[in-house]
Every structure is written in structure tokens, then in C-alpha cells.
């Protein structure tokens, strides 16, 4: 019973613990002792998740997790925050076009949208450069 409660706490905080694409392509599935089983939605993300193992274990130590086992399986949808429209963030059309040009080679729709949002937010936060639409 205690493991189920802890798994629920982990699942509830998953997108806060692991933001961006990692939380969108993974979700906690079961907790057996101190071993967390994490479902990953595709073989390519299953491979990528291995690179985050140490970071994930560090973030999950507060929940008693000391080991993670990844497996290909269904992932629970996570809440995502979409980028604000261009008019609200003051990004130039040139910047948007350059971002879209760079993203054209990415086939994964969710990954492309995540990177687009991050790039546009990055260009808009406190920027006074040529892409912000503000005087520098």
C-alpha cells in the first residue's frame, strides 16, 4: 500500500520533476521496493531515457527510489504549457522563420513543438537582441 501511495506522489509530480520532452515521453508505471519502472513511449525515447537515468534517480531519491528500470509501454499524458502567441512575446517574424527552418528536419511532432516553444520563449525572455522586436 505504501508503494502505491509513493507511486501516486511520483506520478502527480512527474512533469515538475522532469519537464519538457522527457516527461512527455515517459511516465512512472510501478514501484517495487526502491525500484521504479518507467514506461517510455517509443524505442528511440527508450534509448534516450538511459542517458537521463542518473539525473532521474537523483531527482527521485526523496521518494525512496534508488534504481530505475525503463520499458517500452504506454505513457500517461502530461499537462504541457504551450508557448504564448507571437504578438504577446514580441518576437520578430524573422526569428520565427529561422526557428521553423531549424525545426524542419525534426520528424517527431511532439519533440518539434516542445523545441519550438522553448526556442520562442528563450528568444522572448529579457531579450533586446535583433530577434526580440525591441530596441537594443
pLDDT at 104 over 80: yes
Residues 91 and 128 in one domain: yes
In this structure, what CATH number is given to the domain that contains residue 15? 3.30.300
The verdict on 68 and 85 lying in the same domain is no
Residue that wins the pLDDT comparison between 119 and 91: 119
Q: Are 133 and 90 in contact (CB under 8 A)?
A: yes
Number of other CB atoms surrounding residue 120 within 10 Å: 20
Note the pLDDT of residue 130. 46
Can you tell me the distance from the alpha carbon of 64 to that of 7, in angstroms, rounded to the nearest whole number? 10
Domain limits at 36?
A: 2-72
Q: What is the mean pLDDT of residues 86-93?
A: 56
Predicted confidence (pLDDT) per residue in 34-78, tens digit:
999 999 999 999 999 999 999 999 999 999 999 999 999 999 886
Q: Tell me: do 68 and 91 sit in the same domain.
A: no
pLDDT at residue number 47: 95
Both 86 and 68 in a single domain?
no
The answer to whether residues 45 and 95 belong to one domain is no
pTM greater than 0.75? no
Tell me, yes or no, whether 109 and 90 share the same domain: yes
Note whether 23 and 66 are same-domain residues: yes
Amino acid at each position: 500500500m505504501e508503494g502505491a501511495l509513493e507511486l501516486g506522489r511520483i506520478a502527480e509530480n512527474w512533469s515538475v520533476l522532469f519537464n519538457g520532452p522527457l516527461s512527455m515521453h515517459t511516465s512512472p508505471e510501478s514501484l517495487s521496493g526502491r525500484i521504479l519502472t518507467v514506461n517510455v513511449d517509443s524505442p528511440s525515447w527508450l534509448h534516450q531515457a538511459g542517458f537521463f537515468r542518473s539525473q532521474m534517480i537523483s531527482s527521485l531519491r526523496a521518494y525512496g527510489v534508488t534504481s530505475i528500470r525503463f520499458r517500452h509501454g504506454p505513457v500517461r499524458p502530461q499537462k504541457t504549457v504551450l508557448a504564448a502567441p507571437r504578438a504577446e512575446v514580441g518576437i520578430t517574424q524573422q526569428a520565427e522563420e529561422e526557428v521553423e527552418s531549424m525545426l524542419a528536419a525534426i520528424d517527431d511532432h511532439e519533440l518539434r513543438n516542445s523545441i519550438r516553444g522553448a526556442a520562442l520563449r528563450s528568444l522572448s525572455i529579457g531579450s533586446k537582441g535583433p530577434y526580440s522586436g525591441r530596441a537594443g
